[in-house]
Amino acid sequence: MAHEVKGVVARSKGAPVTVETIIVPDPGPGEAVVDVQACGVCATDLHYREGNINDEFPFLLGHEAAGLVSAVGAGVTDVAVGDYVVLNWRAVCGECRACRKGELQYCFNTHNATQKMTLADGTELSPALGIGAFVEKTLVHSGQCTKVDPAAPPTAAGLLGCGVMAGVGAAINTGAVQRGESVAVFGCGGVGDAAIAGAKLAGATTIIAVDIDDRKLEWARQMGATHTVNSKNTDAVEAIKGHTGGFGVDVAIDAVGHPAVFEQAFYARDLAGRVVLVGVPTPDMTIELPLIEVFGRGGAVKSSWYGDCLPSRDFPMLIDLYLQGRFPLDQFVTEAVGLDDVEEAFDNLRQGEVLRSVVVLDK
Ligand SMILES: NC(=O)c1ccc[n+]([C@@H]2O[C@H](COP(=O)([O-])OP(=O)(O)OC[C@H]3O[C@@H](n4cnc5c(N)ncnc54)[C@H](O)[C@@H]3O)[C@@H](O)[C@H]2O)c1
Ligand SMILES: [Zn+2]
Ligand SMILES: [Zn+2]
């Protein structure tokens, strides 16, 4: 029997989100229904609401979630009712070009639920990143459910489902930060701070946080930044060179997704360094760089989707490190809010008031 639950919907470009009745079908073959316990508010949800991702309104927002599997469809063997899971948006297919090469972290054909969740009038919803988790129950593909240790509270664990994983992975997977290296992270929101925590985990000895907001820089220090630069009033590239013997960093991570910031990251790295773009630009943004600089500096310019993570490998690993006190997941949670508060949480995110607001479902 289908369930009627409450969820947060973006109906049209730029319009404030509304809490609506959502119809969640019983899981079909390969699908699972998850009772969402907590779901972080990510900048990407705001990108959806602004129409920056695509025009497939209405969206069911939310995608950084943890919860309990409450039903599974035919043929599901990887998860069972009662399992505690973090939802992921990389349910590897095993068959696409990337998977066949053994590069599962680039899977081009992520599994999602086949059935649609709808509004009460039958209008089909587009779930954000194929998840949709600002809702009491959500329907996903079973491969989108990654089991983790239930000792980790859902407010913290859910954050691995997107922003924190994207940031950590940008550092340890895409950027492949090594012990003793220097790293600069531009933009110290949830994603950038996770990149800082990831760089620390990987053993970087110089970690330079760059932001235009002093409060964010203070939080970045608590995550492991060894130096901070407010790029509103300082030349970030020069400051970073100053902290690295005049050379620039081994790895420069743009966690904003803006041409001016990308350019700073590009010029702030040492010869043969790596630039990683993990912030999401809007479709109208362009960048012009002297090709001789792209060539002459060597190294790599990479983008990082979801931190090139493999959820089955990386989520349980980060949860274990968290439970051992070696990864500061709790520090990302600034406030717990209810389903009715997502619009306010967007305002707080835009104004830099929070790292993460987390929607808690029984709040
Ligand atoms: N690649 C992925 O898989 C992935 C996953 C999740 C989020 N993202 C993207 O990552 C980006 C960051 O997300 P977030 O949740 O951390 O957002 P956020 O709003 O919390 O953080 C952005 C930070 O950038 C800072 N900033 C803004 N302009 C700046 C500038 N010119 N120079 C330096 N700092 C500046 C802000 O002060 C803020 O601290 C977004 O674009 C989001 O869509 C990407
Ligand atoms: Zn694949
Ligand atoms: Zn996200």
* Best mutation site among 44, 276, 305 for ligand 1 pocket (most ligand atoms within 8 Å of CB): 44
Q: Is the CB of 46 under 6 A from ligand 1?
A: no
Which residue matches tokens 């060539």? 295
* Best mutation site among 253, 280, 348 for ligand 1 pocket (most ligand atoms within 8 Å of CB): 280
Q: Which residues in the chain land under pLDDT 70? A: 363
- Residue 362 confidence (pLDDT): 80
Is residue 103 located within the same domain as residue 144?
yes
* Per-residue model confidence as pLDDT tens digits over 16-28: 999 999 999 999 9
Is residue 191 located within the same domain as residue 245?
yes
Is residue 101 located within the same domain as residue 26?
yes
Asked if residue 183 lies in contact with residue 204, where contact means CB atoms within 8 angstroms, the answer is yes
* Per-residue model confidence as pLDDT tens digits over 102-132: 999 999 999 999 999 999 999 999 999 999 9
In-domain check, residue 321: no
Is residue 92 located within the same domain as residue 216?
no
Identify the CATH number of the domain in which residue 38 sits. Answer: 3.90.180.10
Burial 60-98 (b: 16+ CB within 10 A, else e): bbbbbbbbbbbbbbeebeebeeebbbbbbbbbbbeebeb
Range of the domain at 298: 164-305
Is residue 175 located within the same domain as residue 57?
no
* Per-residue model confidence as pLDDT tens digits over 135-187: 999 999 999 999 999 999 999 999 999 999 999 999 999 999 999 999 999 99
- Residue 363 confidence (pLDDT): 61
- Residue 1 confidence (pLDDT): 82
Which residue matches tokens 């420069």? 252
Identify the CATH number of the domain in which residue 283 sits. Answer: 3.40.50.720
Is residue 133 located within the same domain as residue 184?
no
- Residue 303 confidence (pLDDT): 97
Alpha-carbon gap, residue 229 to 231, rounded angstroms: 6
Is residue 154 located within the same domain as residue 189?
no
Is residue 70 located within the same domain as residue 53?
yes
Is residue 169 located within the same domain as residue 154?
no
